[in-house]
Amino acid sequence: MELSRAIGITIGDPAGIGPEITLKALKGINCRDILIIGSRQVLKREAEKAGLNIEGIPLVDTGSLGKYEYGEVQKKCGAQALSALELGVDLLKNGKVAALVTAPVSKEALRLAGFQYPGQTEFLARKLRSRRYAMLAWSPFFKVIFVTIHLPIAKVPGQITAQAVLEKILLLNEFLQLEGKSQPKIGVLALNPHGEEFSLGEERQIRQALGEAQQRLVNAIGPLPADSVFARRSDFDGFVAMYHDQAMIPAKLLARGVGVNVTLGLGKIRTSPLHGVAFDIAGKGMANPSSMVAAIRLARRLVARTD
């Protein structure tokens, strides 16, 4: 396998479902270009539980973890997940892998291990020196980008600036064009209820961003009331949402189990399942790998389109 064309996959928090869905996903896809990044000990444990053979799958071993418990926040699991993530980003940054797929991590466990970022998205952006980046919730049925990601709701209004909204509109437009839409139609959501009725000035910022986007011949429309626009979501190729739950609630409802988190603006390809560590079912063999399969397949398609 030529490493520079490989899809690197970090296995996430060992106490969660990341290792399980990684192995299950590999069972259903061609592994010709896959490089797993994580603990051989953890993967062997999962493979034995699932009756799978991992021999022959290229692996960068991040070392033994020792004893750990499923479904619990543990510093050692956070450290192991962070080790795999750091190694994966290094391989991505240096062109040793063509894309990185990251299995779910526990933010609490990462923080116990000394992680100082809100999430993997922000970590990747800092390591890849990207100042213009965004999180996209992707599925074949619905695509939405976030102006703000991991912020307390009280801090969101102060971050809704014309520059921030315009940046996300342009990133989404570029991605949709990469997917094959020559002139994407983008719906931009309002922050406040009913569009502008209860605005404290945020919608003025959004309108300014829309004006600048339209001057660049981007087909962006808004501000649209978030409580009703998704009923006519087929009128748009993608959406720009102002905060996490405004985007993630419809994204997860509409994804039908195949949602993918894509980080835009990195200059590199990174995807991830659109769900978390699922501690409640970890170690029970119940995890559905569909979102991980979708993340790997989307990473492959994006690599092919950027060749």
Quickly state the pLDDT bin for 4 (edges 50, 70, 90): low
**What is the token pair recorded at 21?**
């869905």
Q: Which fold has domain 1-130+264-307?
A: Isopropylmalate Dehydrogenase (3.40.718)
Q: Which of 227, 253, 238, 245 is nearest to 156 (CA)?
A: 245
Residue 236's CB is within 10 A of a number of other CB atoms, namely: 21
CB-based contacts of 63, cutoff 8 Å, min separation 6: 39, 41, 80, 83
Write down the pLDDT at residue 29. 79
pLDDT in tens, 187-235: 999 999 988 888 889 999 999 999 999 999 999 999 999 999 988 899 9
DSSP string, 240-297: EESSHHHHHHHHHHHSTT--EEEEESSSSEEEEESS---TTTTTTT----HHHHHHHH
Q: Which of 277, 292, 275 is nearest to 72 (CA)?
A: 277
Domain residue spans of the chain: 1-130+264-307, 142-254
Per CATH, the number for 142-254 is 3.40.1010
In the three-class reduction of DSSP (H, G, I as helix; E, B as strand; rest coil), residue 138 is classed as strand
pLDDT in tens, 12-44: 999 999 999 999 998 877 778 899 999 999 999
pLDDT in tens, 109-140: 999 999 999 888 889 999 999 989 999 999 99
Number of residues in the chain: 307
Q: Which of 169, 77, 140, 181 is nearest to 295 (CA)?
A: 140
Cis peptide upstream of residue 250 (ω within 30 degrees of 0): no
Q: Which of 260, 306, 301 is nearest to 141 (CA)?
A: 260
Write down the pLDDT at residue 167. 97
